[in-house]
């Protein structure tokens, strides 16, 4: 696989660099474009229409890229792009807007479509829309396909509007799926957390989807107030920094960022579902050990897959990692890049991370998802 990385501060310069690259005898088949929501996205998608290759993109909370020529970079309010030339027959794209409350059906439709494209698909999916129900959408995907990865778009922590796009469409609330043919592309996922539960374990006694009403039969808001003394003004930032650690009935641990508190009914709104009966604790970052944790998560998976040398690395760290690590954030990305055997890397800080290979819970918060791809020879 060949690749070309482009970092740009304007749409015009991005388009110009892509044009120049194509002229210089590089023929990409696929492009990843991640950028700040501050750019004119209508203008961008209009410009992208002319390209004959597949384009997938999303707005972010920070753009990430790395390769041997440019080194490792974490950018704010910029545009990052990577062009690659995977065999065209190995992937296929579908992008669609969601209608109200039909996120599960959208997932189901995407999964069924992917099964018509390939016998054994693995799905790279990007989603947009703050009200988009990622969990129901993924549940729909998992009815047909178990291997999933991707993220939900961000908007520089403004929490207003997030977008995904292809060279055909710009979508404010919906999903795109880039289905890969696993018979031709070898893909591995890893996920690391860097957060850890603290204090006493409690039980969610009443919840509906992503709204938790009571924990240990007391208003859920009391649980957060006792630990953090939060007010509405502290949300969602405080809730993102101190998410709920959730132990699912299958013993899987996931994290859920609190994004809104309802003083009237004492409920908490989370960035993903929290099932009734789940055992929960409040959690906090584990200091600079976050970096080791992420490195370890990648190494563990790569070690299991002997002799695997990735050609391309996609990463989707949660925006909370960027906020917590601050200036040290670059060290985390460097560690991920080195652990991924210094293969060309592109990614972005996201509002939700998606990764599962076996049908277990795939939608995450506070998580660092790393995906490696290589064409089978």
CB 376, min distance to other proteins, A: 35
Q: Which class for 169: exposed (0-12), middle (13-18), buried (19 or more C-beta within 10 A)?
A: middle
In angstroms, what is the minimal distance from the CB of 301 to other proteins?
A: 23
Strand order in the sheet with 352-356: 91-97, 174-181, 121-128, 148-152, 352-356, 363-364
Residue from 24, 25, 249, 377 touching other proteins (CB under 8 A): that is: 249
Enter the tokens of residue 340.
């991924």
> Does the N-terminal peptide bond of residue 236 adopt cis geometry, omega within 30 degrees of 0?
yes
21: three-class secondary structure by DSSP: helix
Length of the chain: 377
Select from 11, 32, 1, 68 the least CA-distant residue to 374: 1
The least distance separating other proteins from the CB of residue 196, rounded to whole angstroms, comes to 6
Least gap, CB of 254 to other proteins (angstroms): 15
Assess 143 for contact with other proteins (CB under 8 A): no
Which residues, 6 or more positions from 102, have their beta carbon under 8 angstroms from its beta carbon? none
- Answer for which of 99, 198, 222, 305 binds other proteins (CB under 8 A) is 198
Is residue 140 a contact residue for other proteins (CB under 8 A)?
no
Binding window for other proteins (CB under 8 A); candidates: 9-17, 278-286, 314-322, 363-371: 278-286
Stretch near other proteins under the rule CB under 8 A, chosen from 139-147, 156-164, 179-187, 280-288: 280-288
How many Å separate Cα 194 from the centre of its chain? 16
Minimum distance between the CB of residue 266 and other proteins, rounded to whole angstroms?
18
When asked if residue 208 is in the footprint of other proteins (CB under 8 A), the reply is no
- Identity of the residue, 269 or 284, whose beta carbon is nearer to other proteins in the bound complex: 284
Q: For the segment 50-89, give every residue that binds other proteins (CB under 8 A).
A: none
Is residue 196 a contact point for other proteins (CB under 8 A)? yes
| Residues numbered 283-302 forming contacts with other proteins, rule: CB under 8 A | 284-289
In the complex, the smallest distance separating the C-beta of residue 243 from other proteins, rounded to whole angstroms, is 14
Query: Exposed, middle or buried by CB within 10 Å (0-12, 13-18, 19+), for 45?
Result: buried
Residues pairing with 285 in the sheet: 195
Count of positions on this chain that bind other proteins (CB under 8 A): 18
Instruction: State which residue, 118 or 224, has the beta carbon closest to other proteins.
Output: 224
For 137, 198, 255, 299, the CA distances from 88, given in Å and listed in that order, are 27, 48, 36, 30
Interface contacts to other proteins, rule CB under 8 A: 196-199, 203, 205, 249, 251, 277, 284-289, 326-328
């Amino acid at each position: 696989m060949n690749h070309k990385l482009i970092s740009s501060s304007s749409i015009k310069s991005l388009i110009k660099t892509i044009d120049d690259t194509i002229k210089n005898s590089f023929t990409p088949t696929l492009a990843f474009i991640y950028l700040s929501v501050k750019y004119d996205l209508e203008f961008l998608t209009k410009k992208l229409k002319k390209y004959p290759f597949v384009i997938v993109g999303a707005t972010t909370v920070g753009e990430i890229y790395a390769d041997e020529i440019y080194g490792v970079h974490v950018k704010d309010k910029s545009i990052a792009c990577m062009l690659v030339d995977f065999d065209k027959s190995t992937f296929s794209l579908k992008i669609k807007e969601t209608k109200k409350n039909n996120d599960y059906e959208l997932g189901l439709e995407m999964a069924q479509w992917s099964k018509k494209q390939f016998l054994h698909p693995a799905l790279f999916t990007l989603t947009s829309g703050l009200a988009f129900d990622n969990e129901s959408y993924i549940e729909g995907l998992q009815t047909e396909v178990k291997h999933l990865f991707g993220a939900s778009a961000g908007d520089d922590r403004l929490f207003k509007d997030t977008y995904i796009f292809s060279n055909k469409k710009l979508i404010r609330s919906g999903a795109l799926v880039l289905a890969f043919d696993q018979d031709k592309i070898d893909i591995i996922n890893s996920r690391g957390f860097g957060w850890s539960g603290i204090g006493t374990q409690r039980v969610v006694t009443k919840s509906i989807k992503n709204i938790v009403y009571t924990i240990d039969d007391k208003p859920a808001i009391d649980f957060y107030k006792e630990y953090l003394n939060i007010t509405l003004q502290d949300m969602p930032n405080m809730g993102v920094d101190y998410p709920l650690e959730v132990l699912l009935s299958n013993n899987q641990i996931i994290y859920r960022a609190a994004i809104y508190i309802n003083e009237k009914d004492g409920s908490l709104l989370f960035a993903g579902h929290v099932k009734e009966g789940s055992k929960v604790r409040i959690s906090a970052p584990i200091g600079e050990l976050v970096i080791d944790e992420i490195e370890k998560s990648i190494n563990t998976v790569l070690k299991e897959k002997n002799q695997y040398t990735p050609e391309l690395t996609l990463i989707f760290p949660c925006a909370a990692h960027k906020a917590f690590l601050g200036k040290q954030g670059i060290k985390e990305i460097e560690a991920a890049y080195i652990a991924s055997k210094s293969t060309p890397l592109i990614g972005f800080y996201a509002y939700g991370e998606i990764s599962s290979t076996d049908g277990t819970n795939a939608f995450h918060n506070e998580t660092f998802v790393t995906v490696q791809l290589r064409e089978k020879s």
